[in-house]
Structure 1
Amino acid sequence: MIKVIESRSDAVVAIEVSEKVTKKDYPDVEQAFREIADRYGKIRVLMMVGEYTGVSWDAILEDIEFNKEFYKYYDKVAVVSDRKWMKPIIKIEDYFIKADMKYFDLEQQNEAWEWITQE
């Protein structure tokens, strides 16, 4: 599941990823991304990753379309999680996504917010 959660900044989309991600999770996230892109011309994302268990095939296809639309707006992405296996994935994605991407441990959530809101 992907859901938009309360953000500490109007300029940042905060989302939580948990359990299994499906296509039906995207409309609310898409709306939040569109609002930030329209207002600021760029998108900053703070992603809290919890008990993530995987992704459905239809969500993978939706994610491709989603990223095709918003790719040009990505500015910064902070991933906050206790899932250490995500660190190398973030480094790999950093080569393909023009945004600055950074992994933070759960106890570094405040640091993640500081980083994502810095110009």
Structure 2
Amino acid sequence: MIVIQHQPKRVEVNVYGEFTLADYKEFEDMVNYKVKFEGPVDLYFDLREMADFTLDVAWEDIVFSRAHAKDFSRIAVLTLSQWVAWSAWLSQIFVRAEMRLFDDEAEARAWLDESI
């Protein structure tokens, strides 16, 4: 399950439990809308409560990242998992955004706020 919030030039995603393809499609729809009307956006992913993600989500992330290589400014990923950290770095190959991993929410938000 995901919870998506947005504000000017930013999309925030919190994942709880399993991250499914339906969840990812919801995220894609929000990003597509924001980019269409606001241009490049920052992303904030809180994955501390994510239990797992499906293989189709991993594939969709690669496809989506390649299609939106220039649509993100900064990406903050909040996680305590080395596996999630590794997969986030792998996704960075396809986007031109600056990406950082955090284990502290305040630091992640402060870093994103620097770009405003």
- The TM-score range, normalised by the shorter chain, is 0.7 to 0.9
Whole-Å separation in 2 of the counterparts to 1:27 and 1:33: 10
Say if 2:76 and 2:99, in contact at 8 Å, map to a contact too: yes
TM-score of the superposition, structure 1-length normalised? Answer: 0.75
1:12-70, Cα deviation, whole Å (9 max, x unpaired): 10001232222111232112101221232102101001232322233233323322332
Whole-Å separation in 2 of the counterparts to 1:93 and 1:61: 10
**Secondary structure of residue in 1 paired with 2:15:** strand
Task: Measure how far apart 1:95 and its partner are.
Answer: 4.7
TM superposition outliers: structure 1 runs of 4+ over 6 Å: none
Percentage of identical aligned residues: 23
Q: Counterpart amino acid of 1:3?
A: V
Gaps of 5+ in 1: none
The yes-or-no answer on 1:20 pairing with 2:18 is: yes
TM-score of the superposition, structure 2-length normalised? Answer: 0.77
The yes-or-no answer on 1:118 pairing with 2:114 is: yes
Gaps of 5+ in 2: none
Question: How many residues of Structure 1 are paired with residues of Structure 2 in the alignment?
Answer: 115
Say if 1:3 and 1:29, in contact at 8 Å, map to a contact too: no
